[in-house]
Structure 1
Amino acid sequence: MTPNELFSLKGKIAFVTGGATGIGRMATTGLMQAGAHVLIASRKADACLAVAEELNQMNAPGSVEGFAGDVGTEEGVEALAKAVQERTDKLHILMNNAGISWGAKLGEFPFDAWAKVMNVNNAGMFSLTQSLLPLLIASSNADDPARVVNVGSVMGDAPLGDGAYSYAASKAAVHQITRIMAKELASQHVTVNALAPGPFVSRMTAFATADETTRSKVGDDVPLGRVGREEDIAGCMQFLCGRGGSYITGAILPVSGGIQVMSGPNLFRAALEG
């Protein structure tokens, strides 16, 4: 089997929430380059339309279509699911990427920062997937299941708060929801996996990655010595959503440069080196 056969997404319909920026845009680009028609949505319709126009000028095998959508409320999820249903009667790939964070010091972290983050990162993600299940199941079969890819975080695996307590907890929940849905949807030929990214350049991490000097310092603290790149996300999506990933479900794929296996100092290094 050729690489094109393993990773081609020609003829596939994908939907990426938060697809205009950051990891969502990286995923959208990768899916489009593999041949998929990618629907993208965020709260800012203008941004999605602009990104769709820009990416469509790349003359890639696939294409992108942008529109408005919000997963932060029940009404928003219902409207977004309807907008997708108006555009397609089948959905091969759903990437739940939309998410928000909140940062504050321990002792100053506000009560409201929990519900607001959990509503988008957990309730919105789960509810949208639930609403779009009929479209996913309509496209699936045993040889080529539909794919759901949720965006978690290395902060959901490792005890890293960094002032984003509700965000870290919400991403741990994303990983658990992914495993549960993978178990429950396997018999309907829908795979459910998650990415657990480390530091990538995005609007959410702009405080640490927008400036090249700061970004380099952040990368120095990653075991593999750099922050994530666009191709790191694109490659994961082409793998998980292509034929080569059709037998994988319930996986939390660490895209963090090794942060997830950092466990502190070698306890006996001084004795062994002495």
Structure 2
Amino acid sequence: MKNLFDVNGKVAVVTGGSRGIGAMIARGFVENGVKTYITARREEELQATVSELAQIGQCIGIPSDLSTMDGVIAFAAAVSAAEEKVHILVNNAGTTWGADIDVFPESGWDKTMDLNVKSLFFLTQKLLPALRSASAKDDPARVINIGSINGLTHPHMNNYAYSASKAAVHHLTRHLGADLAPQGVNVNAIAPGFFPSKMTAHLLDHESEMGALFPCGRLGNAEDVAGTAIYLSARASAWLTGQTIALDGGAVAASG
């Protein structure tokens, strides 16, 4: 049982890997010997993260726009051309939109659903051959979908499309987890609570006060999410599929 959390030598793909939770997970993989491909739409930001992580281990950047089917197909083709086997796919790329219900636009709804749900499903579909090839009898390939506690409880914000999309991600995780496990691919999700990121930067002026509101007394950090992703990618979680882990410092448990 000494190597239950060993991921050294695996190949991972992390979407939205240039910043925020995606970059935290990518760093955790790279530091633990995983050859990690990251993608993002902004090439300059992507290459900056690649340059940083490449000083630690193997990190390769492939720019892409996963908000369109053409972008999903092109990115999957680029990964498949480089790697016959992909052990880990982290579907992290996402977006949000906020507006009062009376004025919430169709464009904001479609943009959020297309990236958060549609692209996640079809990228998984396109990379299934590489995931199946990487599967071993006692250590399946893994898909890790990044959901949100906003998809588990009332978010108390006007991010209607975001909360609906993340609830869809959680249910899709359960559906795919059951369907793909017999094919050697386990699918699980992480539903993060409050982590410092560009998406939450406007809320960080009172970080310490916000952290005190959580049962664990602080906000999430890079080690928290990277450690959970490593667990979901390692032999330790080989019998876990279709599950969503609320990584939130106890926020959902305390929500009543």
- For residues 106 and 222 of structure 1, do their structure 2 counterparts lie closer, same or farther at Cα, with a shift above 3 Å needed? farther
- Residue 139 of structure 1 is matched in structure 2 by 134
Corresponding residue for residue 67 of structure 1: 62
Question: Residue type matched to 2:106 in 1?
Answer: F
Secondary structure, in 3 states, of the residue corresponding to 2:220? Answer: coil
Pairing partner for 2:124 from 125, 129, 134: 129
CA distance in 1, matches of 2:84, 2:137: 19
Decide whether the 8 Å contact of 2:98 with 2:104 is kept in 1. yes
- Match of 1:68, SS state, is coil
Q: Following TM superposition, by how much is the alpha carbon of 1:31 offset from its aligned partner in structure 2, in angstroms?
A: 0.9
Q: Secondary structure at the match of 1:205?
A: helix
SS of equivalent to 1:78 = helix
- Per the normalisation by structure 2, the TM-score is 0.96
CA contact (8 A) 1:96 1:151 kept: yes
User: Are residue 78 (structure 1) and residue 78 (structure 2) matched?
Assistant: no
3-state SS of 2:252 partner: helix
Q: Please name the residue that 2:254 is paired with.
A: 262
In structure 1, the partner of 2:220 is: 228
| 169, 180, 189: which one aligns with 1:194 | 189
Q: CA deviation at 1:263?
A: 3.4
CA distance in 2, matches of 1:33, 1:237: 13
- Equivalence for 1:169: 164
Matched-pair contact (CA < 8 Å) for 1:7–1:34:
no
Alignment check: 8 A CA contact 2:62 2:75 kept: no
TM-score (norm 1): 0.90
- Once residues 242 and 34 of structure 2 are traced to their aligned partners in structure 1, the CA distance between those partners, rounded to angstroms, is 23
How much does 1:142 deviate?
2.1
Does residue 38 of the first structure (1) align with residue 41 of the second (2)? no
Kindly state the Cα deviation for residue 159 of structure 1 after the two structures are TM-superposed: 1.5
1:244 to 232, 236, 252: 236
Structure-2 separation of matches of 1:125 and 1:204: 19
Q: 1:206 aligns with which of 201, 206, 211?
A: 201
**Equivalence map 1:92-107=2 (5 Å):** 92-107=87-102
Q: CA deviation at 1:125?
A: 0.5
Give the residue type in structure 2 aligned to 1:257. Answer: G
User: Distance between the aligned counterparts of 1:215 and 1:98, measured in 2?
Assistant: 24
1: CA distance, partners of 2:114 / 2:31: 32
SS at match of 1:69: coil
User: Please, what is the CA RMSD of the aligned residues?
Assistant: 1.2
Structure 1 counterpart of 2:146: 151
CA distance in 2 between counterparts of 1:258 and 1:173 reads 22
Question: Given residue 78 of structure 2, which amino acid in structure 1 is its aligned partner?
Answer: A
Structure 1 runs of 4+ aligned residues shifted over 6 Å read: none
Structure 2 distance, partners of 1:186, 1:161, is 35
Matched position secondary structure for 2:4: helix
Q: Which amino acid aligns with 1:48?
A: L
1:107-163 deviation digits (Å, cap 9, x = unpaired): 332232211100000000000000000000011122110000000000000122411
Farther off after superposition, 197-206 or 221-230: 221-230
Q: In structure 2, what residue type is equivalent to 1:230?
A: A
Which residue matches 1:24? Answer: 22
Residue 7 of structure 1 aligns with which residue?
A: 5
1:238 aligned partner, one-letter code: I
Q: Percent identity?
A: 44
Partner of 1:120: 115
Q: Which amino acid is the alignment partner of residue 247 of structure 1?
A: W
Partner Cα distance (1:109, 1:262) in 2: 30
